[in-house]
Amino acid sequence: MASAKSPSEIARETLKLLATRRLPPTPDHYQALYDEVAGTTSAPAFPGAQLRQISRVIPGQTPAQKRLLGLLETAITQQDWGVLQNVLVGYANLGLSPVAAPEPASTRIDHLPLTLAQNLARLVDNTLPALGEDDARVHELAAQLSTFLREPDPPVSTTELMLGNFSYRLSFAAEDQAAIRLSLLSLLRLVFENIAALSMDDEWLHGQAEALLAASTPPLTLRRLDDVQRRLKDVIFKQTEAKERTVHAQMQMRELLATFIERLAQMDESSSAYNTKMEDCAERISQATQLQDIMPLLEEVMAATRAMALSSRVTRGELQELRERTEAKHAEIDHLRQELDRASAQARHDPLTGSLNRKGFAEAMEREIARARRQDAPLCVALLDVDNFKSINDRLGHTAGDAALVHLAQVTREVMRPQDQLARYGGEEFVIILPDTELAEGVKAMERLQRELTTRYFLKDQERVLITFSAGVAQVEGEQGSADAIRRADQGMYLAKRTGKNRVVAA
């Protein structure tokens, strides 16, 4: 029931109550006590200022979000609780929470820093090439996020929402791509293993299959795949050429054998005809009663005998010629088979430098480890990396870079011992196997090689180029394998690079 007091009396009593109850004189407290004194109930004040602050951070990227944001502006302007309710329900249906707990003013960041926003945009752009084109939705979300991050002062709350949506979709796309890569790699290895199993008697094909198996063994790097691809192309070309020549020689051999069999058949036919002729003549001679009847038969026998002798001489000559041609073809096939063997051996050697490749190194390393354990002998491995190789390529060209690697390999083979083995580990990295060598001796051997390189410059168009390298040396210990020794040698090489290059570090 409304009070009969005048507004001025109600206001005075309201102020007295504020003082008596020691309440801060805020509009909310005043309104509450005024209603208490007057006996009325006021409509709640519309929080326009607070809602406008919320509207500045609510996302408005999609058409639905833009429509709801426009309705929110209308509700604030008209102070319409009904429209505001519809807006909140609409955002709830979108799965968004437009009202967040306010953060302390001292720690809250409303907008992303410019550098952070640009780095996030570049991260999104650089992620997409690895995903392929299968998932159109993740590309759409990425494009929206990248565009939004490049706008001036992107709000943090909107960034969090869009980044969360993108990362959620990205996780599925990344899982799909990883599964596809693993499946393709498994299929390739299955094909290579089947080729290797079915080609045990075909050395050149078996060599290619083993090389492909090695190339498809994780971990995979682009540099490793490029090296294997170049080497394998060269091997395939040489093996195909030798294979075609072998097939041609085998066809010629089959033709010779067919001619040989044909000549033998002709001899058999001639011999059978001669025997038949002799039997006929003998029968007729036995029946003759006069000398004049025998003379023609004797002449016939002589003529048949001369023809048989002539045919035998011709056939013997042809058979002798066939024999000589057959022996020549046998020798040619043996020669081609040796060429195939040499081509297959290249599957274990680097075609550029002539040193072992990674597969050849792995096999040689296992042999040396087994020998060292049997004889209780020391074994070291050195990992070399050419210093500033990229600058050589950039300044002199890739052809000169290849020639520099050949120069390094040639000097190394001339300086090192006959039992030492050089392998190209990848790119400008080389590995040297040092049998019967203690760690300190291995370091000294690499330092001798470094000194030798300082006296033997690499020449390019009359320009003398000094080739140096950084190296790490590790000794194979106990039951540890080559992988551990290479890992430690790689750590030593990396330390040599960091401490000035052209150094040797024992690992």
| pLDDT (tens place) for every residue of the chain, 507 residues total | 555 677 778 778 877 887 787 777 777 777 777 778 777 766 666 777 778 777 776 777 677 777 778 888 888 888 777 777 777 877 777 654 444 444 454 455 778 888 888 888 888 888 877 776 777 777 888 888 888 888 888 888 888 888 888 887 777 777 777 777 777 677 666 766 666 666 666 665 666 666 666 666 666 655 556 656 665 665 566 666 666 766 666 676 666 666 655 655 565 566 666 667 667 766 666 666 655 566 675 666 666 666 666 666 666 666 677 667 767 766 776 776 666 666 555 567 787 888 888 888 988 899 899 999 989 999 999 999 999 988 888 888 888 889 999 999 999 999 999 899 999 988 899 999 999 999 999 999 999 999 999 888 888 777 888 899 999 999 998 888 889 999 999 999 999 998 889 999 998
| Cα–Cα dist 273/308, whole Å | 9
The catalytic residue among 210, 339, 368, 428 is: 428
Strand partners, 460: 463
Whole-prediction pTM = 0.39
| Cα–Cα dist 404/57, whole Å | 61
What is residue 121's predicted lDDT score, i.e. its pLDDT? 84
3-state secondary structure of 384: strand
Contact (Cβ atoms closer than 8 angstroms) between residue 237 and residue 285: no
Dihedral of CA 397/400/401/402: which sign?
A: positive
Contact (Cβ atoms closer than 8 angstroms) between residue 67 and residue 59: no
Q: Give burial (CB, 10 Å; 0-12/13-18/19+) of 208.
A: buried
| Nearest residue to 154 via CA among 97, 103, 115 | 115
Q: Give burial (CB, 10 Å; 0-12/13-18/19+) of 41.
A: exposed
Dihedral of CA 350/353/358/360: which sign?
A: positive
Query: Count of alpha carbons within 13 Å of 349, Cβ hemisphere only?
Result: 15
What is residue 224's predicted lDDT score, i.e. its pLDDT? 54
CA–CA distances in Å: residue 358 to residues 155, 224, 229, 341, 484: 52, 9, 13, 19, 15
502 token code pair: 């052209």
What is residue 105's predicted lDDT score, i.e. its pLDDT? 47
What is residue 474's predicted lDDT score, i.e. its pLDDT? 95
Contact (Cβ atoms closer than 8 angstroms) between residue 439 and residue 473: yes
For the question of residue 299 being annotated catalytic, the response is: no
